[in-house]
Chains A and B, each alone.
Chain A
């Protein structure tokens, strides 16, 4: 057998060394070195583009899917004919070629989030009888759902899932550290567990050594690019603290907001139940509330993590928040009032000034009616939008940029179509990739809202 038989000599193109010819499963493809190297260094394609062998490299894979992935390399997007293929096949092939990140970028990028084009499009069913207690997402759209003692993980494409069993009877706080790693804690279980969700074991347990030597339950988890923040309360509920861990090594860095409760100082007895990092100000927002016979009272504090000092705080007595959140891009803090059920905002620009107070976005008159219309409502921001749940509906508040006036204008819309209204009460609201995730009371599924043009 002659040595060149069966192979395709590349002599014709030898003058132009920029063109690369590849034989995939019997089909010939031609592309440029630039296209191949755009897959990134040390991938399969970059090695092919560097070989100077006179033979055409042969790849024993499916040529049809390769042609789609080549288009992805060329343009950054999948061609429309990819719709006739199953995404799962594309993912498997892209993993083989080492370019799954390009696929994720083109299909589930947070920059493609279209708040006005979100529609209720998918339901992710959960097995068993427990309804979701909390959810957590990664920036590119992987989703972890805690239901009962189980945590189910959906990958970024929402095509694959896996479920693990935890030690908790119910998970109350969950934070996705990566698509396969999560931090989980509960109000009735001591210690924060770092869970490997792929193999289903506890990688690490973080506990807070409190003075009373009792267990430490987890009230909230938050993270910044470098740190993880955990709000602990002692099992005897007489002390609480926020611990700062290094996000990568999970070693404790510092402890802030340590409270020992002596006497009847209610305010210090409230542990933080929401922790949120404010990147633009380098501050940690910690909020907690307490429901008593005289109504709900709470506080919001902004902490400078390095110095361990409170930079700013507000105590809430009248129409305390049911939920509070901070938006970096809007440079404002938002709350939903527990009595009024209305959304409020506060500018972060002039925090230091004395007259700073909540500005009601909706109906101001409802503030003092004494009902708890906002109980259990959630408020979150994504991009320049504020999402506030009210019962089974989601309100979308948008910042209208008027240019001239100094007052900010926010306007409200109800999300969804007629058939989406008035569902069961929303218990969780989260954003990941270009999607919004909702869970509802007593429903064993996660609702996925995405824009139709980004349908996977």
Chain B
């Protein structure tokens, strides 16, 4: 993944293109285009404009060694190995000073996440009450962790940046509303609450209330998701009456209510997972309960504009399923590719449905062709989690982490593509982890962000961070 080199070499000497810098007493010489590649807002760009007609070098009173790292970065788009002498924090601070932090981020961010080639690079552990109850990852690779009643924010370098103590005892659901504002909910207390990291304060709360119905009180939040303008949260009351509230992101006020139901059966209990699909503007909710008689639950797709249910399926018992008695134990939505994935509780198989062609039985079951990977998985006693990230499906079964990834097809002829387009055969299953990783604890939550995969395990402090790397990581055994 080498990027195009931006450095200019002038064999015919265009002198006016060159610039001399004196950083902390050390002289550097480079070209204007290199120094300006940091972007028009950077300090270096500003300096280059100011002194271009001055024969004396521009003096910058900073550490020359870090500057030489950044000069290499600007020349080659690659962080030299000398950068390892400095801590991530030092580099980030200094890059911010020169205004080239986005350059540094590009050079240090991991390559596209590939589940078939990933390893644990770090474990993010909050200093106190380290058992994470839930967490959420962002596009830039930063993560917010809820632990105890605290919310901790870790930036893209995975360096701790802020902690907010909330009024809740335990946070069970979390969602990123704005870059600094989190929406949180708990199973033990009522309401949806908004907290701001900058200033670390409570900025608002939303409660489900219905003046006409006295049964609606102390409604707790079970799941939260956000669209561009709204936050959707599923609430349920002690009487199991439940609904989804749409909350305006800017005003933090309730806009509408959808999918209200009584909750007296498995097929109308509160959704435990909500996902908003931006490309089609629909909301996908699902609920799963597991008991002595196996799993049951539903997947429902709402159109929030009309409040109508667009599609739904209940298991067990939804008519024409080809896998009767093998109801799902976990589901997730691939928001980019518009695919639904469910994990069958009995067989352990993964099934896929195209959200653009949902019908009576839209499921395509992905087959495991490798006999050594067949699992009995069947008794349904292991807890399982499914998460889609970067076109791959990550499945946690107990402590084991596996990935289903699509094999790149050779585009030979149209008929070949049609045959494979149903998804069978083009997905391959592989273990992401080693056997010893799987013994650490049962996987509770998987989420990807910024080409990282974050994993939390039952009764394990902190969350694991998995990344792919082009670095071979050879271990010397001499």
Contact = CB atoms under 8 A, between A and B. Distances in A.
Interface in B427-474: 428, 430-435, 469-474
Contacts of B31: 58, 60
A8 to B, nearest CB: 9
B10 A57 contact: yes
A313 to B, nearest CB: 36
Contact of A149 (B75, B78, B428): B428
A129 B408 CA distance: 21
A357 interface: no
Contact of B478 (A121, A148, A201): A121
B72 A62 contact: yes
A60 B405 CA distance: 42
B30 A25 contact: yes
Interface string A237-278: 000000000000000000000000000000000000000000
A92 B4 CA distance: 12
B265 interface: no
B472 A160 contact: yes
B339 interface: no
Interface string B303-332: 000000000000000000000000000000
Contacts of B432: 127-128
Contacts of A165: 116, 405, 407-408, 428, 430
Given A7-B13, A60-B30, A62-B72, A159 B472 contact: yes
Interface string B1-40: 0100101111111011010100000011111001000000
B29 A23 contact: yes
Interface in B113-156: 114, 116-119
Interface string A408-423: 0000000000000000
Contacts of A48: 11
Interface stretch (A83-91, A388-396, A399-407): A83-91
Nearest to A22: B11
Contacts of A163: 114, 116-117
B430 A200 contact: no
A150 B435 CA distance: 18
Interface string A125-146: 1011110000000000000000
Contact of A51 (B12, B80, B473, B474): B12
B410 interface: yes
Contacts of B114: 163
B34 A56 contact: no
Question: By CB atoms of chain A within 10 A, which of B31, B114, B435 has the most?
Answer: B114
Contacts of A164: 408
Interface in A419-456: 444, 447-448, 452
A192 to B, nearest CB: 13
A161 B117 CA distance: 10
Contacts of B118: 127
A79 interface: no
A375 interface: no
Given A119-B478, A123-B475, A165-B405, A5 B370 contact: no
Nearest to A143: B472
Contact of A161 (B12, B371, B435, B472): B472
Interface in B49-85: 53, 55, 68, 71-72, 75-76, 78, 80-82
Given A57-B11, A124-B472, A202 B408 contact: yes
Contacts of B198: none
A5 B15 contact: yes
Contact of B18 (A58, A199, A444): A58
A423 to B, nearest CB: 11
A48 B405 CA distance: 48
A26 interface: yes
Contacts of A447: 477
A403 B8 CA distance: 61
Given A128-B430, A128-B432, A163-B116, A60 B471 contact: no
B13 A53 contact: yes
B117 A55 contact: no
Contact of B117 (A89, A127, A203): A127
Contacts of B117: 127-128, 150, 152, 161-163
A202 B20 CA distance: 50
A161 B471 contact: yes
Contact of A129 (B27, B30, B68, B435): B435
Nearest to A63: B29
Nearest to B10: A58
Interface in A7-29: 7, 23, 25-26
Nearest to B429: A149
A444 B470 contact: no
Contacts of B475: 122-125
Given A57-B10, A85-B81, A89-B80, A122 B476 contact: yes
Given A167-B407, A169-B369, A160 B431 contact: no
Given A60-B31, A152-B117, A202 B433 contact: no
Contacts of B477: 120-123, 447
A203 B435 CA distance: 34
A59 B30 CA distance: 8
Interface residues of A, number: 69
A128 B431 contact: yes
Contacts of A159: 471-472, 474
Contact of B119 (A47, A57, A127): A127
B221 to A, nearest CB: 37
B131 to A, nearest CB: 27
A57 B28 CA distance: 16
Question: By CB atoms of chain A within 10 A, which of B8, B9, B82 has the most?
Answer: B9
B370 A169 contact: yes
A5 B13 contact: no
Interface in A141-199: 148-150, 152, 154-155, 158-167, 169-170, 199
A39 to B, nearest CB: 15
A6 B15 contact: yes
A116 interface: no
B75 A166 contact: no
Contacts of A130: 430-431
A155 B472 CA distance: 9
B394 to A, nearest CB: 13
B153 to A, nearest CB: 29
A55 B13 CA distance: 6
A26 B430 contact: no
Contacts of B119: 125, 127
A26 B20 contact: yes
A122 B474 contact: yes
B116 A150 contact: yes
A453 to B, nearest CB: 13
A25 B8 CA distance: 11
B434 A129 contact: yes
B193 to A, nearest CB: 40
A60 B8 contact: yes
Interface of B: 2, 5, 7-13, 15-16, 18, 20, 27-31, 34, 53, 55, 68, 71-72, 75-76, 78, 80-82, 114, 116-119, 369-371, 405, 407-410, 412, 428, 430-435, 469-478
11 contacts: A57-B11, A60-B7, A92-B76, A122-B476, A123-B477, A150-B430, A159-B474, A160-B470, A161-B473, A162-B470, A164-B408
Given A128-B432, A159-B471, A169-B370, 11 more contacts: A51-B11, A56-B13, A61-B9, A62-B80, A89-B80, A120-B477, A122-B474, A122-B476, A129-B430, A130-B431, A167-B407
List 6 tightest A-B contacts by C-beta distance, closest first: A26-B29, A86-B81, A55-B13, A163-B117, A202-B410, A129-B431
